[in-house]
Structure 1
Amino acid sequence: MGICSMEPVVASAAMKGYKMALKYCTAEFAHEKWNCSLARNIWEEKSNTKNVSKFDDNVLPSGLRDTKEAAFYYAITRAGIAHSISEACTKQQTEGCKIGTEGFSQDNILRAIRKSQNLIIPLLNQVVSRSWIVKKAIAEEWQWGNASHNIEHGIKYSRKQLEDGFNGKHANRLPTSDRLNLHNTNVGRRVYEKAVLLVCKCHGMSGSCATRTCWRRQADFRKVARELKNIYFAAKRVSKPQSGNRNTNRYLYYGSKRRRKLNKGQLAFTRKTPNLCQRSNRLGITGTRGRSCSNISEAACQRLCCGRGYTTHLVRVQTKCDCEFSWCCDVTCSTCEKLQVLRICQR
């Protein structure tokens, strides 16, 4: 089941999340040899050619399928979709999800505290442990706030709609490529969930914190994208499962001399990334000729240009300057020109 088969409101939220994920993917890889370029858009009508994989593999250039670039693509797009569906739920734009105090209990607060890596609790000027916060939440009966993001709804709905039938007991019978994609999509959702913020606000006379109200808030998606890129650099190349061995097929393994079970938080791939320096129409690789590398170091620019060198140009750009605020409520700015160094990889 794909995005186009979702309910209209959910499909709109999912597409918004997908586009947001690609935006951050492009930003994170702007100065890498692969700049998050795709072969086609997911919202275009799929071709009539048979595709063995039930995932949206034909979105990626053929030369990048099952590589660590594909792993990042699946992780960040599924994280973006979950993020956007959760946000739509909070704004009460989707059906079947609960927000605020309805459906929540103190157990949910404690579970959120244990899950969250990021805690924002005002009026505490000392570093406190997670166990200390749990004890305080129990003793003081912290309450769940009215504006919580329903994180679970976004995660579950995106999984159900996009990978329905893949996450069951028969997942180990899927083709290796599908199992790989399924693993990487779940990595993206895990990173998204771990980045969620738990925010607590104090209530009482003169901020005495007689009562605390807590709610979960989605992190800036930039943080999710950055963490996924860090995981991308540490992605593991896994071996194909051995046929006929049910116990072995339950997991993905990496390592040639000593096989190790893949961690749930690690991105995985089976194919080595092809040469990204040269253009290849057959593989769908755009190459790096003509790419801009103006805002990075010379060493990084040389690496992006694959040792071919780059040309330097001085261009005049117009920017706003000398801005003034006028009461009320206008901002007037002058237009200034400045010289900017532009570096382009040689063709």
Structure 2
Amino acid sequence: VDIVMKKCSLTSLDCRLIVIFCNVSLYRSLAMNPLLIPEAYIIGAQPLCSQLAGLSQGQKKLCQLYQDHMQYIGEGAKTGIKECQYQFRNRRWNCSTVDNSSVFGRVMQIGSRETAFTYAISAAGVVNAVSRACREGELSSCGCSRAARPKDLPRDWLWGGCGDNLNYGYRFSKEFVDAREREKTYQKGSHESARLLMNLHNNEAGRRAVSDLAHVSCKCHGVSGSCSLKTCWLQLADFRKVGDALKEKYDSATIMKLNPRGKLVQVNNKFNAPTSNDLIYIDQSPDYCVSNESTGSLGTTGRLCNKTSEGMDGCELMCCGRGYDQYKAQVVERCHCKFHWCCYVKCKRCTKIVDQFVCK
């Protein structure tokens, strides 16, 4: 709480802790208990964990025990949402948020490959945010990374700079994000049980993407930059690389089904079995071409498209063969940029008229 209050004045009416919980499994119960982007208003310096809609009992307990973590869980989830929207910006389903309470809407009730991606990227976002918060000294229960020295690191290089605490971030994300799934009760062999296994698998795939892309970073020391000594530490990759990696996993995701023993197996055995790093799904994706309230599809009517592209952002594919309208639009952009010594670039703002194409 002390850490939260350093960032927030008790006298400020706007003082609030934004918590977007990355446990996208909350999307399953959107109709009755939607995944909110909850706000824990600070009253008497106590976040109201018990009043955060959508939390399971286990998550409420973790919220009370680790109140200073909640801000970073929220930041990680927001990072995951933004990355999802970047990765799918040129797709029929563009990871749009639909209102202030349900984030991605009813699409998440379907165990599709899009849902698989959102679970993975959200879990990855929390690992990323919590690991870095540890390094920055923002959390009371962790600090810099204590990862073991890599065996291939040259002997004369020092190991132990303040690295991102991936081990802690990974473990906390697993405990918090998976808590809701572990607490569910279901009938063995049901679709709900398959969905639970799918959710847990994709949460883990997201965490592993962050872990696999972490790397050793080093800094030189020495007189006049001679680099006679190097200090090295563990550093997380830029989150865009995590998004790129999970997008590739999305493109090659495997459809699964329950076997009589209650385990998920491949529908098509001709391909290699998915590993813990791969994404899996159990339902076919809905038709994202047209608006459908029952599935949550927003359709592509009104979406911008690229007339000259033959890819998914092209008007033919984006508009699903319905055609498109062309109109003139005024665009403001930076122009006539000049570099000023020493350290900044100054630009003017120019206005131009461009052709834009919108799906019918």
State the Cα distance separating 1:202 from its structure 2 match: 4.0
Q: Is the 8 A contact 2:332 2:349 kept in 1?
A: yes
2:281 matched to which residue of 1? Answer: 269
Mapped pair 1:93 → 2:138: yes
> Within 2, Cα distance between the matches of 1:224 and 1:24?
9
SS in 2 for 1:215: strand
How far apart, CA to CA, are the structure 2 residues paired with 1:340 and 1:109?
55
* Equivalent residue letter for 2:240: R
Identity %: 30
Q: Which residue of 2 aligns with 1:113?
A: none
Partner residue, 2:69: 10
Deviations 1:12-43 (A, max 9, x none): 111111111111111111110111124556xx
Change (3 A) 1:326 1:255: closer
Q: Which amino acid aligns with 1:303?
A: L
Contact 1:38-1:61 at 8 Å conserved across structures: no
Root mean square deviation, CA, Å: 3.3
AA aligned to 1:33 is R
Aligned to 1:150: 165
Going from structure 1 to structure 2, the CA distance change for 1:165 and 1:317 (only over 3 Å counts) comes to closer
1:62-77 to structure 2, matched below 5 A, reads 62=107, 65-77=110-122
Instruction: Indicate the SS of the match to 2:149.
Output: helix
- Please, which moves more after superposition, 28-37 or 58-67? 58-67
Cα offset for 1:324? 4.7
The 2-side partners of 1:263 and 1:328 are apart by 50
Q: Deviations over 1:304-332 (max 9, x none)?
A: 11011212222222223234567899865
Deviates most, 71-80 or 170-179: 170-179
**Closer, same or farther: CA 78–333 of 1 in aligned 2, 3 Å:** same
| Whole-angstrom distance in 1 between the partners of 2:162 and 2:76 | 20
> Which has the higher relative contact order, 1 or 2, with Cα contacts under 8 A spaced 6 or more apart?
1
Distance in 2, matches of 1:77 and 1:192, equals 11
1:292 aligned onto 2:332: no
TM-score of the pair, normalised by structure 1 = 0.74
Counterpart residue number, 2:125: 80
User: Quick check: 322-331 or 283-292, which moved more?
Assistant: 322-331
Identify the residue that residue 343 of structure 1 maps to in structure 2. 357
The answer as to whether partners of 2:186 and 2:193 remain within 8 angstroms in 1 is no
CA distance in 2, matches of 1:165, 1:201: 41
Distance in 1 (alpha carbons) for counterparts of 2:75 and 2:108: 27
- Give 1:343 shift: 1.2
- Aligned residue identity for 2:349: T
SS at match of 2:197: helix
Amino acid at match of 1:150: N
Report how far residue 142 of structure 1 moved: 3.6
Q: How do residues 304-319 of structure 1 correspond to structure 2 at under 5 angstroms?
A: 304-319=318-333
Q: Any residues of structure 2 matched to 1:1-347 within 5 Å, and which?
A: 6=63, 7-38=66-97, 44=101, 60-62=105-107, 65-99=110-144, 103=146, 108-110=148-150, 134-135=151-152, 137=154, 140=155, 142-164=157-179, 175-204=193-222, 211-242=229-260, 245=261, 249=262, 252-256=264-268, 261-294=273-306, 297=309, 300-324=314-338, 333-346=347-360
- Identify if the C-alpha distance between structure 1 residues 143 and 167 changes in structure 2 by more than 3 Å, giving closer, same or farther: farther
Deviates more, 1:146-155 or 1:173-182: 173-182
Aligned-partner SS, 2:259:
coil
1:273-308 Cα distance to aligned partner (Å, 9 max, x none): 111111111111100111112497155221011011
Amino acid at match of 2:89: A
Distance in 2 of aligned mates of 1:165 and 1:282:
25
CA distance in 2, matches of 1:96, 1:204: 34
Stretch deviating more after TM superposition (86-95 or 194-203): 194-203
Q: What residue ranges of structure 1 are gaps of 5+ in the alignment?
A: 47-57, 111-133
Counterpart contact for 1:63–1:285, Cα < 8 Å = no
TM-score normalized by the length of structure 2: 0.72
Q: 1:75 to 1:172 in 2, by over 3 A?
A: farther
- Please report how far the alpha carbon of residue 86 of structure 1 lies from its aligned counterpart in structure 2 after TM superposition: 1.0
Amino acid at match of 2:357: R
Q: 1:35 to 1:64 in 2, by over 3 A?
A: farther
Q: How far apart are the structure 1 equivalents of 2:215 and 2:274?
A: 27
Of stretches 20-29 and 172-181 in structure 1, the one that deviates more from structure 2 is 172-181
1: CA distance between counterparts of 2:272 and 2:340? Answer: 64
> Number of matched residues?
295
Q: Secondary structure at the match of 1:341?
A: strand
